[in-house]
């Protein structure tokens, strides 16, 4: 009888040990040392973001100020718990992502939004805390799944068509957090319902997302029709760019006849009514180019700082302090921005074209326009610009901005001599060698002339007045 009691006692001891062992295993099957001091209270997801809330207990002021608190997360996998434990064990670069809440944490209530996630993807995550003493804690792990990216499109139309670009109005509804993680643009193509692979040009919106956007669609060429549609680019889970396409409309660029002015010149060449890139006579929003460059430049206080201009000029080599040779006559070439942007028979004028203008037209009067604009500090400034009338034998005319009127240097030609590009300008009367607007008396009609000069360095931004050449 005593022997049976002994074996019964041994049986219960073994059973108790096994029970304790099984309980320990069920509490920590992954090896995670979860902390009851950190708890996840909620997750709100969009297509590209997850806003996580939680609570922290037992943190001192120094822990809040000097410690680290946030979210460990990664695409869901069997190794997710091991990644989190790796951080808990002291690995500062675990095979998972770390979102650290650096502001707004009061030591108890936690809130943080993870951005840059993939749509329709399941993630594992946990909250973490590292105190001032370096001790690390994590919450129990959980999961969330991001939503499908499904923007709602509304109005899409072009509200203004210029000579090389057009302004599109795009209305759409996207979660504000998602909008930060994608790019909204307008796509041009020759075919209907084209995808990004068949796009001629895509112009993406720059700036803050709003439900109604104004996007300047670039890359138009005269006498051309396009299909245009809204496109949204985002990062997909496969590591490639994903695209969502919106409504489509047609866009017809302006005709050459709207820009070209026939001055009855012997060569048959027609001069553009406006400077390259503009839709009307204006100076405040003028677009300028360096010689041979495709990059447009807005006029600024740095226009005469040639060292700054050289740094931004793609044909300047800072190490050798020399220019790249792009040729002595660039009209109609890949360095001719007028030909590249307008296409067709449009190009930059040569020295011969300007001389033909001088020989066959009168520069017999001038007038002024007044423009106002805002400075970068929000102040309004008003400038008066002097324009010279260049009149052909048929009384048709174009207008050129007077050289050095409010720091205007004139216009580029496509020609150069002795490696120095030629520019031309309209000069006021009274002093043939003066271009100062101060020499104009009473601002009444008077005589003037066009001058070709080599005084401007090629990195200086100048206007370009295109010509249409029937012989191209």
SS3 category, 379: coil
The Cα 424–Cα 453 span in angstroms is 6
pLDDT digits (tens, 9 = 90+) for 93-150: 999 999 998 777 888 899 999 999 999 999 999 999 998 888 999 999 999 999 999 9
| DSSP sequence for 137-201 | EE---EEEEPPP--PEEEEEEEEEE-SSEEEEEEEEE--HHHHTTEEEEEEEESSTT--GGG-SE
The Cα 129–Cα 33 span in angstroms is 13
Q: How does residue 406 score in pLDDT terms, banded at 50, 70 and 90? A: very low
Q: Taking 70 as the threshold, does the pLDDT of residue 68 lie above it?
A: yes
For residues 64 and 371, which has the higher predicted lDDT (pLDDT)?
64
Q: Taking 80 as the threshold, does the pLDDT of residue 167 lie above it?
A: yes
Please state which of the ranges 222-231, 266-275, 370-379 shows the lowest mean pLDDT. 370-379
- The confidence score (pLDDT) of residue 163 equals 87
- The confidence score (pLDDT) of residue 426 equals 77
Q: Taking 80 as the threshold, does the pLDDT of residue 12 lie above it?
A: no
- The confidence score (pLDDT) of residue 435 equals 40
Average pLDDT over residues 289-308: 82
- The confidence score (pLDDT) of residue 58 equals 85
Average pLDDT over residues 405-429: 80
Q: Taking 60 as the threshold, does the pLDDT of residue 373 lie above it?
A: no
Distances (CA, A) of 371 to 186, 301, 436, 442: 31, 18, 19, 19
- The confidence score (pLDDT) of residue 385 equals 67
Count how many Cα atoms sit within 13 Å of the Cα of residue 278 in the half-sphere of its side chain: 21
The structure tokens listed for 364 are 């017999």
261 beta partners: 271
The Cα 356–Cα 157 span in angstroms is 42
Q: How does residue 261 score in pLDDT terms, banded at 50, 70 and 90? A: very high
Q: Going from the N-terminus, what domains does the chain have, and what CATH number goes with each? A: 38-145 (2.60.40.10), 152-252 (2.60.40.10), 256-468 (no CATH)
For 327: left if phi > 0, alpha if psi spans -120 to 50, otherwise beta; the answer is: left
Please state which of the ranges 66-70, 93-97, 295-299 shows the lowest mean pLDDT. 295-299
Distances (CA, A) of 280 to 106, 133, 259: 57, 67, 10
Average pLDDT over residues 248-268: 95
Q: What average pLDDT is seen over the chain?
A: 83
| DSSP sequence for 349-377 | --HHHHHHHHHH-EEEEEEEEEEEEE-TT
- The confidence score (pLDDT) of residue 467 equals 97
Q: Count Cβ atoms below 10 Å from residue 268 Cβ, excluding itself.
A: 11
CA angle, 345 then 348 then 350, to 5°? 110
The structure tokens listed for 25 are 């295993």
Count how many Cα atoms sit within 13 Å of the Cα of residue 193 in the half-sphere of its side chain: 0
CA angle, 397 then 403 then 405, to 5°? 105
CA angle, 242 then 246 then 248, to 5°? 130
Average pLDDT over residues 162-169: 91
The Cα 390–Cα 264 span in angstroms is 12
Distances (CA, A) of 343 to 224, 226, 348, 466: 10, 14, 11, 11
Q: Taking 60 as the threshold, does the pLDDT of residue 284 lie above it?
A: no
Distances (CA, A) of 373 to 10, 236, 378, 383, 384: 95, 42, 9, 9, 12
Q: Taking 50 as the threshold, does the pLDDT of residue 8 lie above it?
A: no
For the chain, give the percent of residues with pLDDT over 70: 80
Please state which of the ranges 383-387, 397-401, 466-470 shows the lowest mean pLDDT. 383-387
For the chain, give the percent of residues with pLDDT over 90: 58
Q: How does residue 277 score in pLDDT terms, banded at 50, 70 and 90? A: confident
- The confidence score (pLDDT) of residue 383 equals 61
Q: Which residue has the tokens 């001599």?
A: 417
pLDDT digits (tens, 9 = 90+) for 375-391: 545 555 556 667 788 99
Q: Are strands 152-161 and 165-173 parallel, antiparallel or unpaired?
A: antiparallel
pLDDT digits (tens, 9 = 90+) for 186-223: 999 999 999 999 999 999 998 899 999 999 998 899 99
Q: Taking 90 as the threshold, does the pLDDT of residue 35 lie above it?
A: no
- The confidence score (pLDDT) of residue 380 equals 56
């Amino acid at each position: 009888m005593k022997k049976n009691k002994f074996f019964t006692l041994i049986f219960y001891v073994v059973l108790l040990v096994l029970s304790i062992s099984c309980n320990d295993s069920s509490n920590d099957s992954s090896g995670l040392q979860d902390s009851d001091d950190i708890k996840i209270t909620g997750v709100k997801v969009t297509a590209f973001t997850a806003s996580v809330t939680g609570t922290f207990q037992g943190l001192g002021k120094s822990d809040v100020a000097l410690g680290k608190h946030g979210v460990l997360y990664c695409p869901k996998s069997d190794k997710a718990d091991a990644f989190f434990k790796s951080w808990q064990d002291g690995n500062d670069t675990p095979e998972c992502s770390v979102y650290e809440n650096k502001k707004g944490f009061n030591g108890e209530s936690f809130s943080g939004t993870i951005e840059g996630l993939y749509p329709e993807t399941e993630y594992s995550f946990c909250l973490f805390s590292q105190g001032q003493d370096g001790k690390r804690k994590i919450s129990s792990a959980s999961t969330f799944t991001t939503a499908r990216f499904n923007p709602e499109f509304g109005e899409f139309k072009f509200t203004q068509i210029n000579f090389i670009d057009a302004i599109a109005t795009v209305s759409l509804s996207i979660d504000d957090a998602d909008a930060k993680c994608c790019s909204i643009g307008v796509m041009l193509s020759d075919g209907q319902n084209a995808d990004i692979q068949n796009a001629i040009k895509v112009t993406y919106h720059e700036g803050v997302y709003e439900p109604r956007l104004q996007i300047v669609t670039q890359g138009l060429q005269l006498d051309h029709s396009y299909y245009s549609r809204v496109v949204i680019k985002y990062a997909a889970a496969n590591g490639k760019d994903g695209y969502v396409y919106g409504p489509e409309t047609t866009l017809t660029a302006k005709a050459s006849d709207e820009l070209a002015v026939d001055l009855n010149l012997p060569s048959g060449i027609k001069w553009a009514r406006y400077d390259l890139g503009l839709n009307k006579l204006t100076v405040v929003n003028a677009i300028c180019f360096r010689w041979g460059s495709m990059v447009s430049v807005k006029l600024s206080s740095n226009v005469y700082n040639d060292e700054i201009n050289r740094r931004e000029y793609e044909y300047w080599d800072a190490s050798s302090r020399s220019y790249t040779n792009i040729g002595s006559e660039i009209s109609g070439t890949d360095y001719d921005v007028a030909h590249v942007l307008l296409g067709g028979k449009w190009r930059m004028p040569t020295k011969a074209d300007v001389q033909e203008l001088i020989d066959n037209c009168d520069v017999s009067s001038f007038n002024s326009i007044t423009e106002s604009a805002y400075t970068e500090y929000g102040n309004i400034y008003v400038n008066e610009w002097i324009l010279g009338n260049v009149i052909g034998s048929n009384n048709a005319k174009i207008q050129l901005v007077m050289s050095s009127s409010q720091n205007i240097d004139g216009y580029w030609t496509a020609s150069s001599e002795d490696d120095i590009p030629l520019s031309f300008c309209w000069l006021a009367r009274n002093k043939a060698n003066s271009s100062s607007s101060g020499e104009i008396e009473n601002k009444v009609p008077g005589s003037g002339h066009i001058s070709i000069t080599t005084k401007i360095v090629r990195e200086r931004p100048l206007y370009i007045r295109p010509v249409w050449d029937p012989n191209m």
